[in-house]
Amino acid sequence: MSKTAKMIIDKDFRISQIDERIYGSFIEHLGRAVYDGLYQPGNALSDEDGFRRDVMDLVKELHVPIIRYPGGNFVSNFYWEDSVGPVRDRPRRLELAWRSLEKNEVGLNEFAKWTQKVNSEMMMAVNLGTRGIADACNLLEYCNHPGGTKYSDMRISHGVKDPHKVKVWCLGNEMDGPWQLGHKTMEEYGRLAEETAKAMKLIDPSIELVSCGSSALDMPTFPKWEATTLECTYDHVDYVSMHQYYGNRDNDSLDFLACSNDMDEFIRTVVASCDYVKAKKRGRKNINISFDEWNVWFHSNAADDDITENHPWQVAPPMLEDIYTFEDALLVGLMLITLLKHADRVKIACLAQLVNVIAPIMTEAEGGGAWKQTIFYPFMHASAYGRGVALQPLVSTPRHDTSKHEDVTDVESVAVYNEEKEELTIFAVNRTLTDDIVLTTDLRGMEGYQILEHIVLEHSDLKAVNCVGEQRIVPQNTNRSAMDGGVMTSMLNKASWNVIRLKKA
């Protein structure tokens, strides 16, 4: 027997204009993300610069507008000078975050060229772990100053005449975490980030800066970290970062699909912390959120520990290569819905990561092909159809409890209104494992809109995966939605990701 749910959507129920950078991603010098991932010279699939064309085509399919680089934990011992200039002169370094060997064959300028090839922009992180203010300023001068100075002329001598004009800069990475090289207390980080921000904005006042927030909801210093560090950085930064990963370690699928509720709580608490600091400082601007690491991550943990502990100092070892299940794709869809529901304050978000390392795109080594993981599809749908204004649907849905969550909605949904194209897209997940749900949507506030398509991602096996040459989980067009007098009736099958697209007739 099917359950029922109701929803009302009106173009006046606006959350916010969606910043397209909410569909950003992340590349770190970690595992096979760079080497064997986006870069594989000698492969017949690679271009004249050694970049894999098949990977670039898949990245373009995701429409990723901004990519965070070069880390991640990697950045806290990153010597950017080693990554520029003639490749033959670049040193190899012990990479301490992941205990690998970094050969610096792909560096800052190569990555900037790659982002242009995939129609994206670079979001740069500076090393505030083992380095500090001077090095951040030198890197900014190298990247953004037009010429006539030491570091801008150095860039020009490296064959890059025009500045990279990097707009968004992260002031370090996860500095609240004791695993981080150069880990700092909240007071230490707040002062260092403040002074770094002040200096960097003297060089280029147009840049936007991201202050490090908490590395996860369960960090012992959360949310005091935000309140303390932002008291230092509030006047000089534009965003505070958030990071969060989830994993079904207990093999409890129903509870796993409720984890997006925790993400929602995390965002609400960070927003409250930002607004507390704003009030305390009698400020006028909002500090918005850069949710610049988010994903499912747990499948590969044991293998990663073995490599770092027992087989260190390899070049591009296979690390963090989670093979994603269908249920992982459902949670990624739920997390995307959560980000869109907070589009008024979440302006940047980065799916971590992009290629091979906890990624939607995987490649085979030794000249093999590239393929799409299950999580590729909800991200692709959101990025393609989730541009415009986020609308707040009024949803009346059955609810359920899980082992660790109470009052969990059966249906999670958000709508996006593209006024220019006169299109409306509804993203909806039925996160029950046993019940199909008939969703009735009142669209009388969207007069004249007709159904274009109802796309579904579903599978009978929650643990099913995709692999090279075998795409078991792919989207399907269905006839599960019908319109009658401004009211749409949709069948949302159990455990399914749904994209319902409408256009004004």
Please give the positions annotated as active site.
Answer: 174, 293
Both tokens of 350, joined, read 């980065």
Burial (CB count within 10 angstroms: exposed 0-12, middle 13-18, buried 19+), residue 290: buried
In the structure encoding, which two tokens stand for residue 204, read together? 């280029």
> Rounded distance, CA 324 to CA 327, Å?
8
Q: How far apart are CA 53 and CA 55, in angstroms?
A: 5
Measured between alpha carbons, how far is residue 375 from residues 41, 62, 183, 335 in Å? 27, 11, 32, 11
The CB density around residue 292, as the number of other CB atoms within 10 Å, is 28
Handedness of CA 261, 264, 270, 271 (dihedral sign): negative
Phi, then psi, of 121 in degrees rounded to 5:
-125, 160
Q: How far is CA 102 from CA 32, 92, 107, 109, 125, in A?
A: 12, 6, 10, 16, 17
Q: What does DSSP assign to residue 80?
A: G
351: helix, strand or coil: strand
CB-neighbour burial class of residue 13 (10 A; exposed 0-12, middle 13-18, buried 19+): middle
